[in-house]
Structure 1
């Protein structure tokens, strides 16, 4: 086939494929136009998931009659006029492609009225992007856009659309994003004549919180940490969910850059890093975050859909977001409600239970607990056994001398001996610690809890400099395969900062000369062999994965291998020491892999189990 020019209609349809991928994309473009026009209320209606009809109404500034037909032409916009304006664009739309792209693949009508006009004007068509003659129409001030028979002239594209219910959900999700971006604007959404969403206009200092509460639900804000940090011309504010509030899918993640909904790999990586050691690999964090910076520092003209951005100083933005979110999670202290176990549902009433009280027994005063009180460095150090840490019964002398920073120690209970995690009662099945606090019972996974305690101590040592190495009285020979030895030698400098000292002593052996004091009591030869073999797995737990912080990954693996194992008998003193160490440790609610370390079973749950008060 010889080279030839494509027909304008085909060119428009090809261009529309980048902008109009599904009904939700049409809604996004039209609603963003309404927001740029200064609308205070936007109503969206769809029929058949948006494939049959989409109607968007707003009360914005409107389009003058003389510009109405031009608005349908490709690359016609009121947002920018020069390259300088493009590089610092603040509006949501600027390419002048949306209406022309929609018109190329649907039957379309546009009606608008300005405040100065006596009535509105309407123009439309199906495939004719220019040359249409506006006609008068009675309507209130604002704009109304109707899109019918989406992809009517591109049947192959329509064939790939999902069921109407699926497309409706995509539209609804897109509107939720836009509603979060602009809390001062009221939004309404109807599908097949049924009202689906209604977000009232919020005003004042609590406007954003009210909108987040309406879109994400009260449960999110109850289990979220507020963030508001600024540095180097960047500001990040919003909410990040607690690790205990993690989701099975990424359905509660909203990220905005200068008010624009974005999907950005750089920011996504920063968020994953922030949650890396408190979230299980199969769980997803919840967040609503707003990043603000000079528009000249971010390029929004990356993709026609404008959902991707590129930062001029990407490393600065990445580190700022990572530090802000990581710091918020680090400063958080677990609450009993966030770790509460919900028991199975029971009937509202039950008969034939002898001896049950008429009313549920109230838990003791002050039931439940929170770490929200100011921290104090002296955590009951004067009481017998209270100052004992894990290092006093299991770790090396160097660890016993490890100082705990004052700002990482939660407030101790008053002199009555009531601690946040309570006093230990027994060890269950060689795995769990059963304790009692003022709120009821506490179940602790001993291995997971000890793992977090060791991990945080190793990180503090690493942050203070290289972890010291404790020389072995008799160096140990470790037999390994040639590939494993090569991997260890390649990472010797990095492992040296972690306290491991070793040399090759033969074709298939390593001579281990020194180990981190924190794990001197463990089988260090076996641990080094596990590190060598683990680094060859090549999966998400790759020890030296450069995409993450390799050193912290090694620390996490070392802590996991060195933590107390199942079926190890613990005395009450040892269990008490572990509980006290947990209270002194940041992020002790999850182990390094994101599994919970403890749960609270409150008195109401226990009463329900035994039908008390029914």
Structure 2
């Protein structure tokens, strides 16, 4: 077959395959266009999960009559004009492909009116004839894009759409992500003429907290710590959950770079590392964070749907993000009373790498053994224990409190009579984990992705594949075949820092014994855990659980307080 130039219609449909994956992709592109146009009000109407109709209306700057047809042409945009513009992109869109791609796989009507124009005008295409038709229309200032019969002329694409409920779920998630990034814009989302989301502009801290609760849940909004850090030309702000408020599913993990929602392995790895010392029980980092940096330091033109970015100084960004989030977590986890309570929740604020929140005044113990140690606050003197249910606090406050954690293993305790004792946390933790693991093993462990998948040698791969794949996945171990070898991509959260090949080899060796005895399997998982790093918050929670169980004494060692006499006598 000879080489030939593709027809415009075919070229647009090929481009649409990259830009328009499903109805949610259309909604994303249209909302981003509205935001680039300076809109402060955006209304989204969906019918039949988006396959029948998608309409997005805004009050943005609008499109002039003589530019309407051009707006539907490929590579036509108002956002960049030179190569220099491509080096520093500030808008959400810039390629000029979205509207042309949509118009090639749907029936599209574009109606717009700039404030300086007396009459609104309308352009429409039907997916086949790419020449837009222009006619006058009635419309307020702003733009409405109405898309119907998505993929009507590409049956193969339409066949792969899921149910209306599933497709609308993706749309709702997309609107939620964008609404989290733009508190200065109101959003309204309707499905089949039923109001689903009504999000007014949120300019005050209280209003932002209300939107956060609507989109991420009231529990996250109540527990989340506010962070605002700026140094080295980077600015990080947003909310992160303390370890006790983290979830078991990654459903609240939102990260934005220069206002753009990202799924970036580098950023995700930095956040996992920041949380690693404190996360237990299969939990994952939970956050809504916004990173701003000079536009010339980040390349957003590396993914068809702009889901990924490339940083010019990737290692520096990774390490800076890791350091700032870990500082914020340390301020909360190691000294919960240091968090500053505001009407929008807790707040951690810094303008340089070394600044940490000042610790609030804490009652000092009068024990002569540790005159400078600071015990945790009683519940009546602060609200650092808000993450522990009130009933548990009432039951546990009667005696021991944690002064400090020593060597990340021993908790130094003090009671109301100022008696001191050491509590060995490791066996206490493993006993607590064993109870939770028994339940988790019964229902299946969640697998967490490895930053770098691990390839097994051929011999070990052969032994591993002899084990039932579903049994491995119930343990949270996911693998794929690559030639004669096997690549491990997921392992349980508790084993993410372990030596994966050695862990798999040991599992294969003992599988016959472990597979028939859930109790032995739980013990094996606990033994394969890397050395623990116990934070003060985790210690406090363990001590609460320990006291609820009657404070068994086998792990408690009383510490005599020496008698101090006055040297002058």
Q: Deviations over 1:365-404 (max 9, x none)?
A: xxxxxx997365954423xxx759xxxxxxxxxxxxxxxx
Q: Partner residue of 2:538?
A: 590
Q: Distance in 1 between matches of 2:6 and 2:370?
A: 80
| TM-score when normalising by structure 1 | 0.61
Counterparts of residues 477-488 of structure 1 (less than 5 Å): none
Alignment of 1:110-259 (within 5 A): 110-127=110-127, 130-204=130-204, 208-259=208-259
For the residues of structure 1 that align with 2:94 and 2:284, how far apart are their CA atoms?
33
Which of 350, 374, 386 pairs up with 2:360? 374
Give the CA deviation at 1:274: 1.1
Q: 1:453 Cα shift?
A: 4.7
Partner of residue 554, structure 2? none
Matched, 1:32 2:32: yes
Change (3 A) 1:441 1:23: same
Decide whether aligned partners of structure 1 residues 257 and 542 sit closer, same or farther in structure 2, where only a CA change above 3 A counts. closer
Report the CA distance shift for 1:440/1:36 in structure 2 as closer, same or farther (over 3 A): same
Match of 2:407 among 454, 473, 487: 454
- Could you tell me whether the CA contact under 8 Å between 1:329 and 1:587 is conserved in 2? no
Change (3 A) 1:538 1:328: closer
Instruction: Structure 1 unaligned segments of length 5 or more: list them.
Output: 337-370, 389-405, 422-435, 459-536, 547-553, 561-585, 604-614
Which residue of 1 is the match for residue 394 of structure 2?
Answer: 439
Q: 1:106/1:438 Cα in 2 relative to 1: closer, same or farther (>3 Å)?
A: closer
Corresponding residue pairs, total: 417
Contact 2:252 2:286 in 1 (8 A): yes
State the Cα distance separating 1:82 from its structure 2 match.
Answer: 0.6
Structure 2 equivalent of residue 294 of structure 1:
294
Please list the CA deviations of residues 10-53 of structure 1 after superposition, one character each: whole Å capped at 9, or x if unmatched. 22111111111011110000000001111110000100111110
Deviation of the 1:81 alpha carbon: 0.3
Asked whether the equivalents of residues 258 and 293 of structure 1 are also in contact (C-alpha less than 8 Å), the reply is yes
Structure 1's 412 and 187: CA in aligned 2 closer, same or farther, altered over 3 A? closer
1:309 paired residue number = 309
TM-score of the pair, normalised by structure 2 = 0.66
Whether the 8 Å CA contact 2:374–2:403 is kept in 1: the answer is no
Give the aligned partner of residue 355 of structure 1: none
Work out the CA distance in 1 between the residues paired with 2:113 and 2:547. Answer: 61
1:557 to 2:530 alignment: yes
Q: Distance in 2 between the 1:133 and 1:437 partners?
A: 68
Q: Which residue of 1 aligns with 2:422?
A: none
What displacement does 1:88 show? 0.9
Q: Compared with structure 1, are the counterparts of its residues 456 and 291 closer, same or farther at alpha carbon in structure 2 (3 Å cutoff)?
A: farther
Give the conservation status (yes or no) of the 8 Å contact 2:376–2:403: no
Distance 1:299 1:438 in 2: 49
C-alpha separation in 1, matches of 2:374 and 2:66? 69
Residues 330-349 of structure 1: pairs in structure 2 closer than 5 A = 330-333=330-333
Deviation of residue 203 (structure 1)? 2.3
- SS in structure 2 of the partner of residue 249 of structure 1: coil
Deviations, residues 172-213 of structure 1 (Å, cap 9, x unaligned): 111111111111111000000100000001224655444323
Q: CA deviation at 1:597?
A: 2.5
**RMSD over aligned Cα, in angstroms?**
4.0
Which structure ranks higher in relative contact order (CA pairs < 8 Å, sequence separation ≥ 6)?
Answer: 1
> Where do 5+ consecutive residues of structure 2 fail to align?
338-356, 386-390, 412-489, 502-526, 549-569
Give the aligned partner of residue 105 of structure 1.
Answer: 105
- SS in structure 1 of the partner of residue 396 of structure 2: strand
Q: Match of 1:351?
A: none
Cα deviation for residue 304 of structure 1 reads 2.1
Larger Rg: 1
Distance 1:42 1:71 in 2: 20
Q: Matched residues in 2 for 1:543 and 1:86: separation?
A: 43
